[in-house]
Amino acid sequence: MAIPEPFGPRLRAMRVARGLSLSEFARRTFYSKGHVSRIETGVARPSVEFAQRCDAELAADGALAALVRTTTASPAAVAEDDNDDGMWIMTMSPDGSSFVPLGRRELLMGGAMLLSGLAVTRPAAAAGEVHLGHHTAMLASAREIGQTAHPQAVLPIVVGQAQALRLLAEHSQGADAKAVAALSSRTAEFAGWMAQEAGDERMAMWWTQRAVRAAEAAGDTHTAAYALVRQALITMYNRDHQRTIALAKQAQSVPGTPSRILGLAAQREAQGHALAGDHTECMRALDRARAHLEAAEDGAGGPVIGTSHVPDPVAAATGWCLYDLGKPAAAAAALDREVVRINPGSARARARFGVRQALAHAAAGDVARACALAGEMLGHAALVNSATIRTDLNRLAATLRRSPRHPDVVALGPSLAAALHPGEPGSHLA
């Protein structure tokens, strides 16, 4: 990709206008003088993170990041087909390393036996005798397992339950049918999250759409609104700030949406504004998120929507956003306060925010602290094998490469490389 021609001259003009020498500006942004010089002269290409740091230091309100931001296309919408059941039916990959969808063609060629292992052949109980307590407990257990296990290990459990609930719904009537459909929707939504954690965005979108359709069958617009928040999470990790903001706003516009979902949607909107470098709108959205979440009533009759493992999700999201706004020192301080409050047993949540905490310290120039934090988090990251967490691990590795001779970076290198490239012996950070 060609270097955006306006960036270097624009950066130099803004730096000079603020009366900052090249050395002073490099010191403030925690980049080397040579690196800044190469970018200003067009020899090197700026990263989005570099542009965000410059925006924050020069109070440019995202103008510099907009010059270099490349929006990764979000996964294409999966065709809605009432008869397309491909992803309800799952099998192991040939090498046994992952759980993958089995298409209709493969099913017709001999996969029917797999379906019998997942499906409920016929509910024995009459509609009035349907009990959802067991399935509700199963989903709650799967969510807990998901905090300490690879997503590939959780998907078979959740997909099997989703299939069972779907078939159960077909044989239920009245209030029972709505209750089954509602739980089916929640199960499909969680399957979408585990698919995203496994790195399969197409499957994540497919399951999210299934969650919406099951919710509609139950007359539930709440889950449909939350599904928009889930879609916004996918676009956020693709660094598509425009779609992230649009989806989050759409979720907030659904009539009758409960306060908790409104709060989660506002929080996602804030993360989109942070990617865009818009500090003012980000903080406004975070304020709305806190107000909605504080007004939310404790959920009853089903699993909590959204994370239940982060004590103060808005405070943690604030630290997350401050990093994307190019303020790593402030982000590090915020995350220092919040990560210690996350139960160490919640490995996925702990690793998600802990890795970003380490990244913030590295970007703020505290390499020793960053390496110490990363060392603590790599075990959690390996345990949950999250594609989204690896996104920040890659950024952390790139940031630490700016200090290749630092003894802590050298010591951390093999462990960090192993976390980034599991199963590849001999990997190095360099």
CA distance 51 to 57: 10
Other CB atoms within a 10 A radius of the CB of residue 320 amount to: 26
> 220-225 long-range CB contacts below 8 Å, 24 or more apart?
220/178, 220/181, 220/182, 220/185, 221/254, 221/255, 221/256, 221/257, 222/256, 222/257, 222/258, 222/261, 222/305, 223/182, 223/185, 223/186, 223/189, 224/254, 225/251, 225/254, 225/257, 225/261, 225/265
pLDDT in tens, the chain (430 residues): 444 457 888 999 999 999 999 999 988 888 888 889 989 888 888 888 888 889 888 988 888 888 886 544 444 444 444 444 444 444 444 333 444 554 444 333 333 333 333 333 444 444 334 457 788 888 888 888 888 888 888 888 888 888 888 777 777 777 777 788 888 888 888 888 898 898 888 888 888 888 878 777 777 778 778 888 988 998 999 889 999 999 999 999 988 888 999 999 999 999 999 999 999 999 999 999 999 999 986 554 556 677 778 999 999 999 999 999 999 999 999 999 999 999 988 899 999 999 999 999 999 999 999 999 999 999 888 888 888 999 999 999 999 999 999 999 999 999 998 888 765 544 444 4
Q: What is the pLDDT of residue 306?
A: 72
Q: Give me 231's structure tokens.
A: 């879609």
* pTM for the full predicted model: 0.77
Q: What is the pLDDT of residue 298?
A: 59
pLDDT single digits (tens) 32-89: 888 899 898 888 888 888 888 898 889 888 888 888 865 444 444 444 444 444 444 4
Q: What is the pLDDT of residue 424?
A: 53
Q: What is the pLDDT of residue 223?
A: 79
Q: Enumerate the domain spans of the chain.
A: 7-68, 86-219, 240-303, 313-420
Q: What is the pLDDT of residue 160?
A: 84
CB-based contact 429:412 (threshold 8 Å): yes
CA distance 113 to 186: 27
pLDDT single digits (tens) 103-116: 444 333 333 333 33
The single residue listed with the structure tokens 């929507």 is 305
Q: What is the pLDDT of residue 214?
A: 79
Q: Distances from the Cα of 116 to the Cαs of 8, 55, 202, 418, in angstroms? A: 61, 57, 25, 39
Q: Distances from the Cα of 231 to the Cαs of 72, 161, 246, 317, in angstroms? A: 15, 22, 11, 17
Count H helices, E strands: the chain? 21, 2
Q: Give me 272's structure tokens.
A: 């989109």
> 204-212 long-range CB contacts below 8 Å, 24 or more apart?
204/75, 204/230, 204/234, 205/75, 205/77, 205/78, 205/231, 205/234, 206/78, 206/87, 207/87, 209/77, 209/78, 209/80, 210/87, 210/162, 211/185, 211/186, 212/185
Instruction: End-to-end CA distance of the chain: give it in Å, rounded.
Output: 23
Closest by CA to 263, choosing from 214, 229, 300, is: 229
CB-based contact 265:248 (threshold 8 Å): yes
The correct CATH number of 7-68 out of 1.10.260.40, 3.40.47.10, 1.20.1260.10, 1.10.3470.10 is: 1.10.260.40
